[in-house]
């Protein structure tokens, strides 16, 4: 089965049953792979290693089930396959037994076949088996490089400053960038974002630590703030955009870049930041009447929140609801998921989001 093929999906009540069983499934399958046993004093070191592997295995299963949730709702397998391929590279880099990945999928298929039974159990088991087949066939891939060849040297220099924690060098880089007449949107799209993506790939390969990744992100955010202050203020337009990370998404750097691009184009920006509760987000959209709503999703399960938000806006506002666009790591390479989530479009970059918004407002004015 091709990873882009549609699978049998679950109805809302089936999705609820699936979700209610997730923690029990994680515990059951983890115990299946790592059965508890009494450790002797001589085996303490071995047991300690097994405990670490057991913890990593359970964490993988919990995330795996979270990713499987939108697969069972939308019927699109590719995000699950991508997660498994990514997990394999992480486990290999950290010396964890990758055979546990396949074993966990077999265990989960058996668990849901027993616990859900009938059509629902078969649907979940079929999705897990299809994911496992595609997982074995898929080659390891990294994020597409978003930089252009002309920015390669700048990105390498900026990446070096981030990883070394040299904030002063990063700020000097910004000074040089603006002195050459270049702008913040280009800096974020062609240098900062690709550098952060590369650091994420390096963490995946166990080449940088979590501390280095957090330090690099903090410096990058400071650079973005300095760049915004260095930018010439635009003429304000009669256009409003509301931006938010959906509930559960704590990764807001990309959304900050989108906010900067709209602000520098003259839009009024309502930036709500990370992990915005769905109910509060919908109320804010209804009350503020933006021309456009931009939502950030980092993981496939966040698409379920997008679908809920769009449905609530349709119910409250009908045909007058604002257009909803989505972007982020979850669907950077899978534009079809935007339609599955009922969003109006997937926009890959901040500049493209502004262009889409301007075209939308101009079309409405012409109509």
Q: For the chain, give the percent of residues with pLDDT over 90.
A: 53
What pLDDT score does 183 carry? 94
Count Cα atoms within 13 angstroms, Cβ side, for 87.
Answer: 27
What pLDDT score does 46 carry? 52
What pLDDT score does 6 carry? 59
| Helix-strand-coil split of the chain, %, nearest 5 | 65, 5, 25
What pLDDT score does 226 carry? 94
What pLDDT score does 309 carry? 95
What pLDDT score does 336 carry? 57
Q: Which residue has the higher pLDDT, 168 or 142?
A: 168
**149-230 maps to CATH 1.10.1240.10:** yes
Q: Spell 329-356 as b/e; 16+ CB within 10 A means b.
A: bbbbebeebbebbbbbbbbbbbbbbbeb
Q: Spell 22-48 as b/e; 16+ CB within 10 A means b.
A: beebbebbbebbbeeeeeeeeeeeeee
Q: For the chain, give the percent of residues with pLDDT over 70.
A: 88
Helix (H), strand (E) at residue 240: strand 240-245
Convert the pLDDT of each residue in 192-206 to its tens digit. 999 998 898 888 778
Q: pTM of this prediction?
A: 0.72
Looking at residues 235-258, what average pLDDT do you find? 94
What pLDDT score does 139 carry? 47
* Residue 113, CA distances (Å) to 19, 119, 192, 198 in order: 14, 9, 46, 40
Structure tokens given for 22: 């997730």
Tell me the sheet residues that pair with 324.
293
Looking at residues 261-284, what average pLDDT do you find? 96
Q: Could you give phi then psi for residue 92, rounded to 5 degrees?
A: -60, -45
Q: 70-84, 137-151, 307-321: which range is least confident on average?
A: 137-151
Q: How many residues in the chain?
A: 367
CB 70 within 8 A of CB 303: yes
Q: How far is CA 269 from the centre of its chain?
A: 22
Convert the pLDDT of each residue in 297-350 to its tens digit. 987 778 888 989 999 999 999 989 999 999 987 766 555 566 677 888 888 889
Convert the pLDDT of each residue in 41-65 to its tens digit. 444 445 566 777 788 788 888 888 8
Structure tokens given for 144: 């597409």
Q: Is the Cα dihedral 267, 270, 274, 276 positive or negative? A: negative
Structure tokens given for 85: 């391929």
Query: Quick check: 179 pLDDT over 50?
Result: yes
Looking at residues 278-306, what average pLDDT do you find? 92
Looking at residues 79-100, what average pLDDT do you find? 79
What pLDDT score does 335 carry? 56
276's CB contacts (< 8 A; 6+ apart) are 244, 245, 246, 247
Looking at residues 99-119, what average pLDDT do you find? 91
Question: In the CATH scheme, what is the homologous superfamily, with its name and number, of domain 12-137?
Answer: Phycocyanins (1.10.490.20)
User: For 190, which DSSP code?
Assistant: I
Convert the pLDDT of each residue in 3-43 to its tens digit. 445 588 899 899 999 989 999 999 999 998 888 654 444 44
Question: Can you tell me the distance from the alpha carbon of 255 to that of 135, in angstroms, rounded to the nearest whole number?
Answer: 30
Domain 240-366, architecture per CATH: 3-Layer(aba) Sandwich (3.40)
Res. 173 pLDDT band, cuts 50 70 90: very high
What pLDDT score does 146 carry? 46
Q: 26-30, 115-119, 153-157, 334-338: which range is least confident on average?
A: 334-338
Q: Which residue has the higher pLDDT, 336 or 242?
A: 242
Where are the chain's structural domains?
A: 12-137, 149-230, 240-366
Question: Can you tell me the distance from the alpha carbon of 202 to that of 59, in angstroms, rounded to the nearest whole number?
Answer: 21
Residue with tokens 């089965």: 1
User: For 275, which DSSP code?
Assistant: S
CB 327 within 8 A of CB 277: no
Same fold, 12-137 and 240-366: no
Res. 66 pLDDT band, cuts 50 70 90: confident
Short-list 347, 281, 292, CA closest to 324: 292
CB 260 within 8 A of CB 224: yes
Exposed / middle / buried, residue 223 (Cβ in 10 Å: 0-12, 13-18, 19+): buried
Convert the pLDDT of each residue in 207-228 to its tens digit. 889 999 999 999 999 999 999 9
What mean pLDDT, rounded, does the chain reach? 85
Res. 142 pLDDT band, cuts 50 70 90: very low
Question: Can you tell me the distance from the alpha carbon of 303 to that of 296, in angstroms, rounded to the nearest whole number?
Answer: 9
Tell me the sheet residues that pair with 271.
243
Query: Quick check: 144 pLDDT over 80?
Result: no
296's CB contacts (< 8 A; 6+ apart) are 243, 244, 245, 246, 249, 251, 252, 254, 255, 258, 326, 327, 328
Query: Quick check: 78 pLDDT over 90?
Result: no
């Amino acid at each position: 089965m091709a990873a882009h093929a549609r699978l049998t999906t679950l109805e809302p009540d089936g999705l609820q049953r699936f979700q209610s069983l997730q923690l029990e499934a994680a515990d059951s399958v983890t115990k299946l792979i790592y059965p508890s046993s009494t450790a002797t004093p001589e085996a303490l070191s071995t047991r300690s290693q097994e405990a670490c592997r057991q913890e990593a295995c359970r964490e993988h299963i919990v995330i795996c089930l979270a990713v499987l949730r939108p697969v069972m709702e939308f019927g699109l397998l590719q995000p699950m396959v991508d997660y498994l391929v990514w997990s394999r590279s992480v486990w290999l880099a950290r010396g964890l037994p990758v055979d546990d990945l396949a074993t966990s999928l077999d265990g989960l298929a058996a668990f849901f076949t027993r616990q859900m039974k009938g059509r629902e159990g078969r649907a979940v088991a079929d999705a897990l088996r299809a994911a496992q087949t595609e997982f074995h066939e898929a080659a390891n891939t990294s994020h597409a490089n978003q930089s252009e060849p002309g920015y390669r040297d700048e990105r390498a220099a900026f990446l070096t400053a981030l990883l070394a924690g040299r904030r002063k060098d990063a700020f000097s880089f910004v000074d040089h960038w603006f002195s050459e007449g270049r702008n913040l949107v280009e800096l974020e799209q062609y240098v900062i974002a690709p550098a952060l993506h590369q650091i994420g790939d390096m963490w995946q390969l166990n080449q940088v630590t979590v501390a280095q990744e957090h330090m690099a992100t903090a410096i990058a955010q400071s650079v973005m703030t300095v760049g915004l202050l260095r930018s010439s203020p635009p003429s304000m337009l009669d256009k409003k955009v509301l931006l938010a990370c959906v509930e559960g998404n704590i990764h807001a750097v990309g959304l900050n870049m989108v906010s900067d691009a709209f602000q520098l184009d003259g839009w009024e920006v309502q930036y709500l930041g990370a992990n915005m509760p769905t109910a509060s987000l919908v109320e804010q959209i209804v009350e503020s009447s933006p021309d456009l709503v931009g939502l950030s999703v980092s993981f496939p399960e966040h698409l379920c929140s997008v679908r809920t938000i769009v449905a609530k806006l349709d119910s409250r506002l009908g045909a007058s609801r604002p257009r909803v666009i989505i972007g982020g790591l979850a669907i950077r390479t899978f534009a079809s998921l935007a339609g599955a989530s009922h969003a109006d479009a997937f926009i890959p970059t901040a500049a493209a989001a502004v262009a889409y918004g301007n075209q939308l407002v101009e079309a409405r004015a012409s109509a």
